[in-house]
Amino acid sequence: MKKILLLALTALAAIALAACGGGESTGSSEKVIKIGVNGADGPQWPVMVELAKEEGITLEVVEFTDYILPNKALAAGDIDLNAFQTISFFSNFVTETGEDLVPIGTTVFAPLGIYSEKITSLDDLQKGDKVAIPNDASTLPRALKLLQEAGVLELSDDFGITGDETKITSNPLELEIIPMEPQQTARVLPDVTIALINNGVATQAGLTPAEDAIYFENTESETVEPYINIIAAQAEDADNEDYLKIVELYHTQEVEMQLTKSLKEVNLSSVRQQKKQQQYLKIC
């Protein structure tokens, strides 16, 4: 855990904008903080609201249904923080838009999962099967790497974290890889053999990732650092004491216990599923 945290903080430092390094800590004049999330994507938020209240902060959780609006809302000042995205996704957004946003802390690593309504194991894939993957610049390469990790296909040595389908060097089953908007990956489950679905999208679709995914990323791998989730703020608020308090609260025992409890409440019926559940989520 500490190793992942150190790696995450190193990655955060690498992508933070120059404005992150300066100013004095001023705190918030109002004790109302709006934090954007991608749907009600976790049992931690009611706990966070109560913990913030004990600190004299009213934490308002604002739900979004896609992966673009939370950053746009943050840049526009409609919300104060957001907590929905990976380091990689955030870095791509800032690079592409030039918005003056910075990461101020890490939250969790939630593995990307492979889901299916047609098969229960990747060993059951057949020639020509359809595979839905998210098409955004950070998750598409992540999805292809996961398929390689699962032994489904092979990628070129120079794939890196920005590769795409042109870097597939071996696809023995001639699978049809279909990139699409992340929100669509869950909706097309009936029409494809497997779909690689982001954690938040899966939850919104009524899936329980720790139970329903037939395969997901290894939380112990050193390749997961770009996919650790963060809390982001406007650059001018990088040292805001109240915002940093929210980051601190996320890492309390109460939040960790709630996340762990939510996994234990999943109806797991086999030893294999229990092992999946234990490996599923890490607070970073």
- What are 225-252's pLDDT values in tens digits? 899 999 999 999 999 999 999 999 999 9
51 and 121 housed in the same domain? no
Averaged pLDDT of the chain: 84
Please give the tally of structural domains in the chain: 2
Q: Sorting pLDDT into bands at 50, 70 and 90, what band is 279?
A: low
92 and 139 housed in the same domain? no
56 and 180 housed in the same domain? no
**132 vs 271 pLDDT, higher one:** 132
Mean pLDDT lowest among 24-33, 70-79, 159-168, 187-196? 24-33
Does the pLDDT at position 266 exceed 50?
no
**Per residue, what are the HEC states of the chain?**
CHHHHHHHHHHHHHHCCHHHHCCCCCCCCCCEEEEEEECCCCCHHHHHHHHHHHCCCEEEEEEECCCCHHHHHHHHCCCCEEEEEEHHHHHHHHHHHCCCEEEEEECEECCCEEECCCCCCHHHCCCCCEEEEECCCCHHHHHHHHHHHCCCCEECCCCCCCCCHHHEEECCCCCEEEEECCCHHHHCHHHCCEEEECHHHHHHCCCCHHHHCCEECCCCCHHHHHHCEEEEEEHHHCCCHHHHHHHHHHCCHHHHHHHHHHHHCCCCCCHHHHHHHHHHCEEC
Domain membership of residue 78 (yes or no) is yes
Domain membership of residue 272 (yes or no) is no
100 and 174 housed in the same domain? no
236 and 212 housed in the same domain? no
Q: Which pLDDT score is estimated for 203?
A: 84
6 and 47 housed in the same domain? yes
102 and 234 housed in the same domain? yes
Find the mean pLDDT for residues 105-129.
Answer: 95
pTM of the model: 0.76
Q: Sorting pLDDT into bands at 50, 70 and 90, what band is 38?
A: confident
Full domain range(s) for residue 46: 2-110+223-264
In CATH, what number is assigned to the domain containing residue 98?
3.40.190.10
Does the pLDDT at position 166 exceed 80?
yes
Domain membership of residue 186 (yes or no) is yes
169 and 32 housed in the same domain? no
Does the pLDDT at position 284 exceed 90?
no
Domain membership of residue 277 (yes or no) is no
227 and 106 housed in the same domain? yes
94 and 118 housed in the same domain? no
Mean pLDDT lowest among 18-32, 55-69, 176-190? 18-32
Domain membership of residue 271 (yes or no) is no
